[in-house]
């Protein structure tokens, strides 16, 4: 039943050919989507470019019309300024109806040369004026506006409704051209001329532009003609001689607002018109050729993958399945193409041949392992024989009331029991401390009270796993090469602590110390040390074993003052530590002396 369930799972899985075809279909669908998106982007970009070009042309046309109209009407103001009747009206000290009539008549004769002039005002220096205005006007010449005109020194000042100084009941806004009148000979100020031009002069020009909205206004937002709603969109950027483009939204529709300065202070704004230009035919033709070529490429790739990759792999898989179902590791004999798939079949056959050789070798190794286990069992008899012998001698010492001998034997038995550690290469730190303490107790029996051992142990370090027998060789070195040679009572102190994930083990003795040369000699490694680093139990051998185990040269440090002390510090990174549950409770010295 298990074999049948595996077979059903294999049947559910898609073949490489099906996966490839599905991938190519997904790729084709993805490309079609990207093609549609790209076409949409290109179409939108084309429409936006067309709208921008149309708006730019419309703005430039209106700007040209404004400039041409101002030039023409500016010429008309010069004719009025030099008219004999107008000059006589401005120079006379005493006004009468005849001079006023003659001045108005002279203005009418010149005004009739151009259309769209709504009114002309000639102001004298005494405040009196003559005008040709038709309809009801309200004129309030402010001192600010008068000074502005005079500051122009005879140049034309353009404004809308005279910057609010002139208004007409129920009338559209009008373009006002103002300039000061000076005597030709004496250059004395004679008066001020104001000409109001109907905004209808620009209606035909705006109507001819293919635009959804245009507006003529001044740089302060005063409306002249066109679409008055665009006045709210004006900002200081459009008061520029170059064309300015900004994307805006009007009634939720995204448009481009184009504008520029025509003449100070007039500004022309134009919103983008609806595009009537479709995507160019050559662009559509190129896109369709690209899509057709890609679709054909997909089908060619599908045919090639099926014929050259998917089918040979399917045949190889079938041959390997027949070999597996036979229950024997046999080489496949299916015909394969001379490419990577054929080399894959050759590699499979080579692997089968190697596995058969490996199985035979493993059988031989298994026999050798059984022989080795028998030898290990024989070696285990020796430690048990030692323990049993020590227990027998200890029992005899108690029977003969030799308590000190009994204690020494107990210490020795504990030392060897922990020393052997059931053949483990790693032991908890607390067991290593017990080995060291038992060793020092045995050495006190030999040397008497020439040293005292002290322990400053961090409880959090006791269950950390360390290599066996790294402390006992260090304290042995302290006794033989430090304490014993000093000739006075010394201290051997063992300290452990955890700092920032690093286990620190310090072995300190107040012996004769070491010179810099001795320290350097001990810490240096050689090829001979590398060869014997696992078998040596001296100071250098122990240091090399620690370096080898932790794969770090700076794991051991030695500090010493000749004649004063020697301190060896082992720094072990926490990732190398492994906590292990110890079945038996052990009493380990902690923070006692």
DSSP symbols for 317-338: HHHHHHHHHTTS---------S
Predicted pLDDT at 371: 53
90: number of Cβ within 10 Å:
23
Q: Contact, 471 vs 503, CB < 8 A?
A: no
**CA pair distance 550, 505, nearest whole angstrom:** 14
| pLDDT by 10s per residue, the chain, length 593 | 344 444 433 444 556 667 777 877 888 788 788 878 877 787 777 777 777 888 888 889 999 989 998 898 888 889 888 888 888 888 888 778 888 888 888 888 888 888 888 888 898 888 888 888 655 677 788 888 888 988 888 889 999 988 888 887 777 888 999 999 998 888 899 899 998 888 888 888 888 876 668 889 988 888 888 888 888 888 888 888 899 988 888 777 778 888 999 888 899 998 875 554 555 677 777 777 887 887 888 778 777 777 777 777 777 777 777 776 666 667 766 677 777 777 777 777 788 777 778 877 887 766 654 554 444 444 444 454 455 556 566 656 665 666 666 666 666 666 666 655 555 667 889 988 988 888 888 788 777 788 999 999 999 999 888 887 788 889 989 988 989 888 889 999 999 998 888 899 999 999 999 999 999 888 886 545 444 433 335 788 888 878 877 878 888 999 999 999 999 999 987 654 444 434 444 444 444 43
**3-state secondary structure at position 25:** helix
Task: Indicate the CATH number for domain 68-202.
Answer: 3.30.450.20
Q: In what helix (H) or strand (E) does residue 291 lie, and over which residues does it extend?
A: helix 281-305
Pairing of strands 189-198, 174-182: antiparallel
b/e per residue, 127-136, with b = 16+ CB within 10 A?
A: eebbbbeeee
264: number of Cβ within 10 Å:
12
**CA pair distance 454, 489, nearest whole angstrom:** 13
**For residue 331, what are the CA distances in angstroms to 311, 357, 358?**
20, 14, 16
Predicted pLDDT at 207: 82
Predicted pLDDT at 10: 44
Six-digit token string for 473: 């060789």
**CA pair distance 287, 46, nearest whole angstrom:** 15
- The domain ranges of the chain are 68-202, 282-401, 402-576
172: number of Cβ within 10 Å:
14
- Give the predicted TM-score (pTM) of the model: 0.45
Predicted pLDDT at 584: 41
**Dihedral (CA of 217, 218, 219, 222) sign:** negative
- Check whether the bond before 265 is cis (ω within 30° of 0): yes
In the chain, count H helices and then E strands.
Answer: 16, 19
Strand order in the sheet with 213-218: 223-226, 213-218, 266-271, 253-261, 244-250
Pairing of strands 213-218, 174-182: unpaired
Residue where the block lists tokens 């229950």? 327
**CA pair distance 507, 478, nearest whole angstrom:** 9
**CA pair distance 245, 272, nearest whole angstrom:** 10
Q: In terms of Cα–Cα distance, which of 30, 23, 19 is closest to 294? A: 30
**CA pair distance 303, 339, nearest whole angstrom:** 18
**CA pair distance 17, 311, nearest whole angstrom:** 7
Pairing of strands 223-226, 244-250: unpaired
**CA pair distance 350, 357, nearest whole angstrom:** 11
Half-sphere exposure (CA, 13 Å, Cβ side) for 133? Answer: 20
Contacts of 184 (CB under 8 A, 6+ apart): 82
Question: 402-576, what's its fold?
Answer: Heat Shock Protein 90 (3.30.565)
């Amino acid at each position: 039943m298990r074999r049948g369930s595996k077979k059903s799972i294999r049947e559910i899985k898609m073949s490489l050919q099906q996966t490839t075809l599905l991938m190519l279909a997904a790729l084709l669908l993805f490309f079609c989507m990207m093609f549609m998106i790209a076409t949409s982007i290109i179409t939108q970009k084309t429409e936006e470019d067309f709208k921008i070009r149309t708006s730019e042309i419309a703005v430039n046309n209106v700007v040209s019309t404004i400039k041409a109209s101002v030039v023409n009407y500016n010429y008309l103001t010069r004719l009025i300024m030099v008219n004999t009747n107008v000059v006589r009206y401005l120079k006379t000290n005493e006004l009468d109806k005849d001079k006023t009539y003659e001045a108005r008549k002279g203005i009418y004769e010149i005004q009739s040369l151009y259309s769209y002039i709504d009114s002309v005002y000639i102001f004298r220096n005494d405040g009196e004026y003559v005008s040709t205005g038709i309809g009801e006007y309200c004129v309030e010449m402010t001192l600010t506006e008068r000074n502005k005109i005079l500051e122009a020194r005879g140049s034309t000042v353009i404004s809308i409704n005279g910057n609010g100084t002139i208004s007409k009941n129920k009338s559209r806004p009008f373009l006002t051209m103002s300039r000061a009148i000076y005597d030709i000979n004496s250059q004395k100020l004679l008066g001020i001329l104001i000409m109001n031009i109907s905004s209808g002069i620009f209606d035909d020009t705006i109507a001819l532009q293919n635009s959804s909205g245009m507006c003529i206004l001044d740089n302060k937002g005063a409306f002249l003609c066109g679409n008055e709603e665009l006045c709210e969109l004006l900002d200081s950027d459009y008061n520029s001689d170059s064309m300015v483009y900004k994307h805006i939204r009007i009634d939720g529709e995204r448009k481009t607002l184009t504008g520029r300065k025509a003449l100070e202070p007039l500004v022309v704004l134009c919103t983008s018109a609806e595009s009537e230009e479709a995507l160019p035919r050559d662009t559509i033709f190129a896109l369709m050729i690209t899509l057709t070529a890609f679709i054909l490429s997909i089908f060619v790739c599908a045919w090639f993958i099926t014929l050259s990759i998917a089918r040979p792999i399917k045949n190889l898989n079938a041959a390997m399945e027949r070999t597996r179902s036979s229950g024997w590791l046999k080489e496949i004999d299916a015909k394969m193409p001379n490419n990577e798939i054929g080399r894959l079949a050759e590699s499979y056959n080579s692997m089968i041949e190697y596995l058969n050789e490996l199985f035979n070798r493993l059988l031989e190794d298994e026999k050798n392992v059984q022989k080795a286990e028998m030898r290990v069992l024989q070696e285990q008899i020796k430690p048990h024989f030692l323990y049993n012998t020590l227990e027998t001698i200890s029992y005899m010492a108690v029977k003969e009331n030799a308590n000190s001998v009994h204690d020494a034997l107990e210490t020795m038995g504990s030392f060897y029991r922990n020393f052997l550690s059931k053949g483990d290469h790693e032991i908890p730190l607390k067991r290593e401390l017990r080995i060291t303490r038992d060793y020092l107790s045995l050495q006190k029996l030999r040397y008497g009270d020439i040293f005292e051992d002290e322990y400053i142990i961090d409880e959090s370090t006791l269950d950390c796993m360390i290599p066996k027998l790294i402390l006992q060789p260090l304290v042995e070195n302290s006794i033989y090469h430090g304490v014993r040679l000093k000739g006075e009572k010394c201290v051997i102190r063992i300290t452990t602590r955890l700092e920032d994930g690093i286990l620190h083990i310090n072995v300190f003795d107040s012996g004769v110390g070491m010179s810099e040369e001795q320290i350097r000699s001990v810490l240096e490694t050689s090829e001979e040390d590398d060869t014997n680093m696992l078998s040596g139990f001296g100071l250098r051998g122990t240091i090399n074993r620690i370096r080898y185990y932790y794969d770090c040269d700076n794991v051991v440090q030695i500090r010493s003052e000749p004649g004063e002390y020697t301190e060896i510090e082992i720094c072990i990174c926490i990732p190398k530590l492994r906590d292990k549950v110890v079945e038996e409770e052990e009493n380990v010295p902690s923070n006692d002396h």
